[in-house]
Chain A
């Protein structure tokens, strides 16, 4: 009796399981097509160049990254004008920018996430895919004509492919750039270069010559003392070297797998010949007293202090630290110093621009799919984040109020509006008082938009970088859930060991003749198994989706 009832239960459970699988499958196949019940408020003739306007007033919840540069205000022109143009009211769920990612995880995990989840960087969505709480947006690209248009016009296919998961779908609507936008480089004291009669270095080898000359003139200094070493030692420097040596990334952007286009497979970044070369290069700088050994351990403040006090002449920089940190520091200590961010030094990989053309983007909650306004919402997202008009609106605001346009189409900020110090005497602020140029809503675009508020020298830097070839995008190798779990178990010890050994090689605590021993140590930490998994995932993806 008991036995039989248990068996019956098992059969019932199996049946139920099969049923749910079937239902799930049925759901999936009809999902993308059957939108008949989700079209309330949507436009029937929405397309590229069309102004989106919902046919009835709609409201969508949106996660809002409340940054202190643009703290949320309900009276912003952004909200009211948005509603006027699109008939959509956004309801922000404010999250402090300091802990945005944690709250996002919590809300998604608790099933309480808003419909629209912006400010999500590529690969951050991976963690949520298996939970099923995030919409596979690739199924609904037909609702987003502007995004599709930009993908084809700007040849973004390979970049988009890197977002794909093992199921061949992607779950993030990325911010897309027409041109790669690279920011991080080195800043050099050009007045010292002038004094020594040297030109701005263009390659890593020229940098070596320049540092050597600086050292000869000022023997008491370390000409190069770097910042951004916490938490990743040599975070920026190692990464710049790695990408210019044709690797995927190192330092603070450490990538375990680098694509080898000749062998057509992935190799382990820190075990490559290129990686050994860059360690050798750094080791040479340290041994000859050109690079401060403390570069890899000191805090940013210590590095700033050395540069400010003329104890070093070269430092890692981006457009912001150049203007906000180093120049004001120097103005107080060495008033006639000139510091310039030089174009990314060229390495064995040639003249390349390593920046990705994808930036942070938008996730959509799966539950939004059930909403009767789903189609309208996707159209709205497409308009605001991907249409030319929407992008201009999010960045520049309203013509006639926050900016003016001349006959050639060149935009200028209105006289009474300030942003990034362009109109320092203006009474109103584009971000704080109007809500435009807001990191939550303004992503990507063409260079004209991206560089809208850049200084002349930064635009020049971008001009040089944009003349270089974008790096070819590595093919995707999406892991399955189990593989991802296994990978994360292997990755941490591997990365720790790479960091530790790299520092030892650079600082001369370990001789580079021990390279083979180092490779053996990496193998002991499952490097080969890891690579095998990556290449297997790559092959599988190629077979299934190409």
Chain B
């Protein structure tokens, strides 16, 4: 995705030279460009297609190394096995809920913090920035964090997932840079027209910041969707886990040497190679579907803010 971003980021060149004015060199350049970029597309897409093909293939063909782009020995058995467990759906629902709630919290908090930091006349601004940046380099450590979250009574609640990770400093700084790039005159004009600080933020600044907001939503949503560590640390009940923990455990169960000496049912052996592929498809697909809708903001949004900041 980053590749696509940088490729499109530079402003469009002047209208393309037409007819005889197209120089030979330019055409060669275009041809080379097309070849290289097609290569990049292939290299980027191949692993995805391969994973999908594997997830639909028979284990034996994967072991024999015969699966590349097209599924061999097509079957949906592993999908059926994974999806027939009601816990899978419980955990999937948890993931959706955690992602939505955590993203909303994160966006609200990050926006507020970033907007405040973008005001150059704010006293103590550098201290506030410093506090945020400090956490990029130093953290309390695993056990103190655990003790803190536990003693705040957030263990086994959604807040343990959503609150400690609500502000990502990198995202905060990007957003701050974006807000700083907005013309001050707009806000002054709004103030003259009688808007207070909140009005300016809600009616002027935010509507102009859809791009960066959409990007932040994407960043946060993807990271909450994929995260498993916080859930693993703070959730002690199976029906609270997100699907990432469920699938991670499933793979470990299929590959681990548990119950050595005992033999699992032949038809229930979750083919390890297929299982991994199915897992990847099931966890990435939904979030992958979000990308196309946010991509246009992504391109013109965050890079713009970052460059100017």
Contact = CB atoms under 8 A, between A and B. Distances in A.
A96 B263 contact: no
Interface in B235-294: 236-238, 241, 245, 248-254, 256-267, 269, 273
A394 to B, nearest CB: 14
B261 A181 contact: yes
A110 interface: yes
Interface string B35-64: 000000000000000000000000110011
A98 B60 contact: no
A109 B60 CA distance: 44
B296 to A, nearest CB: 38
Interface residues of A, number: 46
Contact of A96 (B60, B232, B258): B232
Q: Which of B142, B236, B248 has the most CB of A within 10 A?
A: B236
B147 interface: yes
Contact of A323 (B143, B147, B266): B266
Contact of A103 (B87, B232, B254): B232
A324 B254 CA distance: 11
Contacts of A320: 257, 259-264
Contacts of A305: 63-65
A336 to B, nearest CB: 17
Interface in B124-143: 142-143
A99 interface: yes
A450 B101 CA distance: 48
A455 B259 contact: no
Contacts of B245: 96, 98
Nearest to B64: A305
Interface in A59-106: 66-69, 71-72, 93-99, 103, 106
A395 B190 CA distance: 74
Contact of B147 (A66, A110, A421): A110
B232 A99 contact: yes
B304 interface: no
Nearest to A309: B64
A69 B258 contact: yes
A97 B65 contact: no
Given A106-B142, A329-B60, A97 B260 contact: no
B63 A420 contact: no
A72 B253 contact: no
A333 B65 CA distance: 13
A304 B63 contact: yes
B60 A421 contact: no
Nearest to B269: A324
Contacts of B65: 305
A323 B258 contact: no
A418 B259 CA distance: 16
Interface in B194-241: 232-233, 236-238, 241
B60 A332 contact: yes
In this complex, the member of B251, B263, B269 whose beta carbon has the largest number of chain A beta carbons within 10 angstroms is: B263
A270 to B, nearest CB: 25
B146 A106 contact: yes
B150 interface: yes
A61 to B, nearest CB: 10
A97 B63 contact: no
Given A68-B253, A106-B143, A420-B265, A183 B64 contact: no
Interface residues of B, number: 40
Centre residue among A98, A103, A318, A323 by max chain B CB count within 10 A: A98
A345 to B, nearest CB: 19
Given A96-B241, A304-B63, A324-B269, A69 B263 contact: no
A328 B263 CA distance: 13
A218 interface: no
Nearest to A96: B249
Q: Which interface residue of A71, A453, A455 has the most chain B CB atoms within 10 A? A: A71
Interface string B101-128: 0000000000000000000000000000
A414 B178 CA distance: 68
A304 B237 CA distance: 37
Nearest to A304: B63
A420 B264 contact: yes
A71 B257 contact: no
Contact of A72 (B233, B238, B251, B267): B238
A301 interface: yes
A68 B64 contact: no
A347 B76 CA distance: 47
A183 B237 CA distance: 34
Interface of A: 66-69, 71-72, 93-99, 103, 106, 109-112, 181, 183, 301, 304-305, 308-309, 318-320, 323-324, 328-329, 332-333, 418, 420-421, 424, 437, 439, 451, 453-455, 458
27 contacts: A66-B249, A67-B256, A69-B259, A71-B85, A72-B238, A94-B237, A96-B232, A96-B241, A97-B253, A99-B248, A103-B232, A106-B143, A106-B146, A110-B143, A183-B261, A304-B63, A305-B65, A319-B260, A320-B257, A320-B260, A324-B266, A328-B60, A328-B266, A418-B265, A420-B263, A424-B265, A455-B263
Interface of B: 59-60, 63-65, 85, 87, 142-143, 146-147, 150, 232-233, 236-238, 241, 245, 248-254, 256-267, 269, 273
Leading 5 A-B pairs by shortest Cβ distance: A68-B253, A98-B252, A96-B249, A421-B265, A323-B263
Given A69-B259, A97-B252, A424-B265, 17 more contacts: A68-B250, A94-B238, A96-B232, A106-B143, A110-B146, A110-B147, A110-B150, A183-B260, A183-B261, A301-B63, A308-B60, A308-B64, A318-B260, A320-B261, A320-B262, A333-B64, A421-B263
